Amino acid sequence: MTPLTLSLRQRKLVHYLQLQSAYTTGQELASQLQVSARTIRNDIAEINQILNGTGIRIASKRSEGYLLVSSNQDQLKELSRTSSSFLSRDERVRHIAFRLCLSDEPVNLYDLEDEMFISRTTLEHDLHALRADYILPAPHVKFHRHKNTVSFEPDERKRRAILNRLFTENWNYNAKGNAYYQYQYLDERVVNLIMQEVNYYMTRYNIMMEDINMVILDLAIAIMYYRVTSGRELTEPLEVQYQDSTAVHAVEDLLDSLEDKLSCHFPSIEREDIYLHVSCSRMLDAGKLNFATVEAFFEKDIIDLADTYIRRIADTYRLDFSDNEDFYITLLQYLRYLSLPVHYFNLVQTQSDIARSRLLIEFEIAFSIQSLALDFYGNYLDDTELLYLAFCISGALAYKNRTSPRLKTVIMCQLNLSSSWDLKHRILSKFKDYIDLSALLPVYVKDNYDFTKVDLIITTANKEITREPNCKTLLITPFLTQADQEKLENHIVKTQINRLYNTSLPSIQELFQEAFWHEKVVADDRFSVIEMLAKDFISRGYVSGNYLADILRRESILTFAFQPSIVLMYSLEPSTKTCLSIATLDHRIKWNSYKIRTVIMAAIRPEDITIVFRLINELYYEGFSPDETRFLKTREELIDFFQRFA
């Protein structure tokens, strides 16, 4: 079955029928698709002709309507996948990009409307999304529009780059083998042959690369094959040269072999792009990398960049990662990869704001590289590059937490000893890296036991154990349920975060009480609110004008809004006073798809810089959802709300 032989309207019709378990009248179908009953009859006749021989057809019954029937479940599953395409904006935008890459002539907008069965208004929105998704990002292809036609510039290399991205985005890493394409352009037999040959020659030359780069390599060669054999060869040499001799030899043998098997010829100018990709993608042998060998594998400027960044983290956040060799080697490889002419990062399938909410502090530390990145690479890191740096920081923090002093802990249980002993080993099996269990105690000794050197009491009795201020009591069941484990884990995480900032910092309650307040503000956009809050600090001379510029620059690179209701904004530009400015909005505004009611801005003295961690911890990691504040509009309401979690 060829997916693109059905028009979008026909796909919608099939998709609707697949969801029905009984006959559907032609009038109902016509109403759903906003066409005439005659158009429905014509479409069904054409669909049945296209599906002839597949075991799938649309049956019709007088006075009852139409029903999709199938004797081939595999084909029905395939039809289900293809018939639902183009039903989303992303699929339509990909289709437009695909058509523009393959077309030698400008594409008529009326043809696109007909193919995808959409209005001109919807198409205009899709073209706007096309600009954001495929025109503005690298490779920065030029987009031309003339009257009722659109086209990409005739740059073969750029068109191939976009085609590769289109296929790479649809690659299914979870499928048996590798299910990769949702377009008819690539033949599965050809791609499978290329994949086998690539794997063989990369292994033969001991070249290891990350999955994303292997996928891009497979697809680059497949796209090259189809473009060359259709007379669309590259004519301009590469502007950037970066060749690894082993990679060049591997590619030569690989492409020579494919020429024989595919009966084609890859000119030298075509091979240059494959040399470049393999040379930049080739991973270093991690087994040979350590503190003593880095100068043999990394350029001096990369080593200097890593050292400077690690010192900045230590100076700014009082976090010393300099003795963590594993982190150092990983950071060097990350920075080196960014410096290469070609580098790709696999998109994390988790929604980006969810990923960020799980790495809040790590993103903050990662973002502090930006001025160094601008000096070294000539640009700031984007959100995906920052995410992968945040992963590096997360690993370094996890190592630091595992090697930090464990929580001195006792168990107090009213049940017999065997129950306490079982609970002890259940807890240690999950948290032994973070908890030092020193005693199993009956509950009655609570009034006579010295808790001054105890960090944590785990008890099964629902009563007050001690009032020792530095000792936390957690109530759990004797069975260490999933909820109990989450309670312990949350406490450990909170303790680890608390270690990141100075205990002498002001509390959130203090900062809220002394903050500048703007209640029930009427605003249509975030920028007027940002300027109003920053003005509180600037007008009093706490910060320079660079403060607002830094806030706006940071917002443009990585928006502060990643959860509903509350936005916390800050800049590390030095302030003479640590304070907050807070605005509650009369009507919520849309900000990065979230409805925002409260905007909190922080100005921070250099010696109080870790207050950022406290703000993040208490505003985002506590036991409440920010969305619970969506109706709070006054100073008193917000202060009362946060006092509950003090």
Domain range list for the chain: 3-83, 89-154, 168-281, 288-403, 407-498, 508-643
**Pairing state of beta strands 149-152 and 435-441?**
unpaired
Q: Classify domain 508-643 by CATH number.
A: 3.40.930.10
Element (H, E) at 418: helix 417-431
Residue with tokens 């080739």: 282
- Residue 422: the pLDDT is 97
**Pairing state of beta strands 149-152 and 107-108?**
antiparallel
Q: Are 330 and 337 in contact (CB under 8 A)?
A: no
- Residue 187: the pLDDT is 81
Between the CA of residue 139 and those of 102, 150, 159, 225, what are the distances in Å?
A: 16, 18, 9, 21
Q: Where are the alpha helices (DSSP H) in 34-187?
A: 37-50, 73-83, 89-102, 109-116, 120-130, 156-169
Q: Are 593 and 564 in contact (CB under 8 A)?
A: no
Regions in the chain scoring below 50 on pLDDT: 1-4, 176-183
**Pairing state of beta strands 407-412 and 149-152?**
unpaired
Angle between helices 89-102 and 109-116 (to 10 degrees): 140
For residue 583, what are the β-bridge partners? 518, 599
Do 89-154 and 288-403 fold alike per CATH?
no
For 283-313, write each residue's pLDDT tens digit: 999 999 999 999 999 999 999 999 999 999 9
CATH fourth-level superfamily of 407-498: Ntrc-like two-domain protein. (3.40.50.10850)
The torsion angles phi and psi of 582, rounded to 5 degrees, stand at: -130, 135
Q: Classify domain 168-281 by CATH number.
A: 1.10.1790
CATH 1.25.40.10 fits 3-83, yes or no: no
CATH number (3.30.110.70, 1.10.10.10, 3.30.70.580, 3.30.450.40) of 89-154 reads: 1.10.10.10
Identity of residue 150: V
Identity of residue 183: Y
Q: Are 586 and 526 in contact (CB under 8 A)?
A: no
Tokens of 41: 């009859």
* Predicted TM-score (pTM) above 0.95: no
Comparing C-alpha atoms, which of 231, 238, 246, 229 is closest to residue 271? 238
CATH 1.10.1790 fits 288-403, yes or no: yes
Residues 216/222/226/228 CA torsion (nearest 10 deg): 80
